[in-house]
Chains A and B, each alone.
Chain A
Amino acid sequence: MAGSSWLPRWFYQLASPRWCYDITGKLLPSFFIAAILLLIVGVVWALAFAPPDYQQGNSFRIMYLHVPSAILAQSCYMLMAIAGVVGLIWKIKVADMVAYACAPIGASIAVMALATGAIWGKPTWGSWWVWDARLTSMLILLFLYMGVMALYAAMDNESMAAKAASVLSLVGLVNIPIIKYSVEWWNTLHQPATFTLTEKPAMPIEMWLPLLVMVVGFYCFFSVSLMLRLRNEIIRRERRSGWVRELVASK
């Protein structure tokens, strides 16, 4: 491994539970501060200073929670599936733990995306819920998360549970492009994607910038909660190894 230079050394070290614990311990404070700062700045900017929408008035402001959580719920699923593949192919224990840690976080973020969407839908569409393609595929995403969590809960053998959940999350990956393109393939009530980094945004820059801050803040928050869960899981699964005993004894 030392010979290959195109990936930094710490990247390989992430595969070892012990080093992963150390590295995430070093990264955690900066992500924590970044998440708090970005979320506070983003929320204040979005709720108090961004201009109101000319049609929806102030009710559009829930977008600043809805869009980041919807994006993050899908990213989290991708991460879970990718970690699952890495675990399946290279048998890396840390990847299994990442996938395990992703499932409950992703499920709660998906609930948040659906709930904020419902709250936004009531004043704009006149109903909490419509059975259109985007909403339904997002609901399926939540069900997939729940299926993965149920599978983890049902299996006592951890490595077997990790493999089984990876296969399931890989199969469920088929849903991600359906969510993404549902607003283009079907004529839905849900509006098409408004937040892209590659194209000119469809909204004025004063509205778009706080959204960007919120999205980045959500990602930082996600990293913090993922790292916390991951470190917990590392300690729990490696509880019989020497370094964990030393760590516990030294505290």
Chain B
Amino acid sequence: MAELCTNSAEISLGKLFSAVLRRDLLLSFRRKSDLVNPLIFFVMVATLFPLGVSPEPNFLADVAPGVVWVAALLATLLSLDGIFRSDYEDGTLEQVILSPQPLMVVCLAKVMAHWMTTGLPLALMSPLLGVMLFLPVSAMFGMVVSLLIGTLVLSLIGAIGAGLTVGLKRGGVLISLLVLPLYIPVLIFGSGAVQAAVAGLPLEGYFALLGAMLALGMVLAPFAISASVRISVSG
């Protein structure tokens, strides 16, 4: 954080990025419950489907791609509010905007930290859910890779909503209204990839589409995120 607060504009962008990333990761590891809660939620939502719909293995194997993806999407959604909230409340965000460093890079680093603390563990944990829902072992690879790419897109899009609502007292439901329509395409191609993996079809097309969304998000989302943060802080 010390590097962020200096007035010199001489910090390179890479250094700035890694400083913010390291700080955000450190902060989330200091509050371990916040780190674990989305993961517990992820497992619990997936548990609801066998209990609520049907415990039949064949049925579960059919719905598993969708269930895992919807659970991952909701878990990401619930954790979005935390990206900017604490920094907004203690005034850090205001200082970041005042600093000569580009806000976009800071936002991108915060999104990356968010993904590393939610999307990445979710993707790595998803085989456990796959086993719970009788997903064929051959589809595990497709599921993990699609979640790895897809959750990063979800974090990027979600940060726009988080930035827009950070200035509001009750942003909870609103953020899902803003972000969920934009999540639908990611969900379609993400769960499509897992379904293709179950059916033994080639996965490259789905990965390419998810990768295209990721590329587009990486390039364009930082503009929208920084604009929305600026609006919320200065408004």
Contact of A151 among B164, B170, B182 (CB under 8 A): B164
B residues 170-189 in Cβ contact with A at 8 Å: 170-171, 174, 177-178, 180-182, 184-185, 188
For the complex, what is the distance from the CA of A163 to the CA of B168, rounded to whole Å?
14
Judge whether B44 is part of the interface by a CB distance below 8 angstroms.
Answer: no
User: Which residues of chain A have C-beta atoms less than 8 A from B184's C-beta?
Assistant: 136, 140
Q: Tell me if B235 and A147 are in contact (CB < 8 A).
A: no
For the complex, what is the distance from the CA of A250 to the CA of B232, rounded to whole Å?
40
For the complex, what is the distance from the CA of A164 to the CA of B165, rounded to whole Å?
9
For the complex, what is the distance from the CA of A157 to the CA of B171, rounded to whole Å?
15
Contact of A144 among B160, B171, B181, B227 (CB under 8 A): B181
Q: Tell me if B168 and A154 are in contact (CB < 8 A).
A: yes
Q: Tell me if B180 and A170 are in contact (CB < 8 A).
A: no
Judge whether A159 is part of the interface by a CB distance below 8 angstroms.
Answer: yes
The total of interchain contacts (Cβ-Cβ below 8 angstroms) comes to 58
Q: Tell me if B228 and A164 are in contact (CB < 8 A).
A: yes
Query: Interface SS of chain A: helix, strand, loop or mixed?
Result: helix
Judge whether A104 is part of the interface by a CB distance below 8 angstroms.
Answer: no
Contact of B177 among A150, A160, A163, A167 (CB under 8 A): A150
Judge whether A168 is part of the interface by a CB distance below 8 angstroms.
Answer: yes
Q: Tell me if A150 and B181 are in contact (CB < 8 A).
A: no
Judge whether B231 is part of the interface by a CB distance below 8 angstroms.
Answer: yes
User: Which residues of chain B have C-beta atoms less than 8 A from A159's C-beta?
Assistant: 235
Judge whether B103 is part of the interface by a CB distance below 8 angstroms.
Answer: no
Judge whether B143 is part of the interface by a CB distance below 8 angstroms.
Answer: no
Q: Closest residue of chain B to A88, judged by CB? A: B227
For the complex, what is the distance from the CA of A157 to the CA of B232, rounded to whole Å?
11
Q: Tell me if A167 and B174 are in contact (CB < 8 A).
A: no
Q: Closest residue of chain B to A159, judged by CB? A: B235
For the complex, what is the distance from the CA of A38 to the CA of B228, rounded to whole Å?
42
Q: Tell me if A147 and B181 are in contact (CB < 8 A).
A: yes
User: Which residues of chain A have C-beta atoms less than 8 A from B167's C-beta?
Assistant: 160
Judge whether A78 is part of the interface by a CB distance below 8 angstroms.
Answer: no
Q: Tell me if A154 and B174 are in contact (CB < 8 A).
A: yes
